[in-house]
Amino acid sequence: MAPLLEAEAVTFAYGAEPVVEDVTLRIDRGEFVALVGPNGSGKSTLVRVLLGLLPPQHGVVRIFGDAPDALRDRGRLGYVPQRAVLTPDVPVTVTEVVATGRLARRPWWRPAGTADRDAVAHAIEAVQLTDLARRPVTELSGGQQQRVLIARALASDPELLVLDEPIAGVDVESQRMFRDSLVHLVAEHDAAVLLVSHELGAVADDLDRVIVMKQRIVFDGPPDELAATGVTLGVGADVLPRWLEGIE
């Protein structure tokens, strides 16, 4: 089966120095993959190249077998960018925000149908916010708002979900619920998740692969192989970053 996402010898530079250098990777259906690396290692830049937000200077990227700019069904791809925020001046409810995730699945002029409403309710339930569905998002905590953004991405029923540092600064309980929603997406919908994060404690036991990056890919394999090098993914927020800073 063709991979959902693949990169072959991808390079990108801001100026003379490459930020991403000769990166080759693939994400298959049903995989839960973490992408990690120290600050400045090129993780977020790589994600933007993979999603077609930046053009690779060398190499090839394919999403669902095609170039990113050829992707027509945007609902197949879910994306929660780094430091995404909800506008505090717009008094919208949790349900209204999550419902915008269905716009990629239907023409803008067609009213929401039963399938759309069911998908929105299912996404809200998956991040355990059903009791707050009618609550204005301005009344929610930061962790709850982050789960709303994840639910919006889930509402499109994506085949591939990409999240860039989605739990930075989020409380422990929200991290647990975040983990549950991602495991649900992979297990129940046979989708794939690419999670960019410094701290993997919340999902360490659920990952299929860990990709370690420092401009290049320096490790790509099962978490237990990474743990064998001395990295304990589920213990301490500083363990993995300190190990990564030592990579040359």
Q: In terms of Cα–Cα distance, which of 193, 206, 180 is closest to 78? A: 193
The reported pLDDT for the residue numbered 229 is 77
203 within 8 A of 170, measured Cβ to Cβ: no
Query: Model's pTM, two decimal places?
Result: 0.86
Residue type, 124: I
Share of the chain above pLDDT 90, in %: 42
The reported pLDDT for the residue numbered 64 is 94
H-type alpha helices, the chain: 43-50, 94-99, 114-126, 142-155, 172-189, 223-227, 239-245
The reported pLDDT for the residue numbered 112 is 83
User: 242 pLDDT band (50/70/90 cuts)?
Assistant: low
Region 205-222 average pLDDT = 91
Residue type, 212: V
Which has more confidence, 236 or 219? Answer: 219
Q: Which architecture, in CATH terms, is 5-245? A: 3-Layer(aba) Sandwich (3.40)
What is the average pLDDT score of the chain?
85
Q: What is the pLDDT of residues 122-168, one digit of tens each?
A: 889 888 899 999 999 988 887 788 888 888 988 888 999 999 887 66
The reported pLDDT for the residue numbered 202 is 79
Residue 236 clears pLDDT 70, i.e. is over it: no
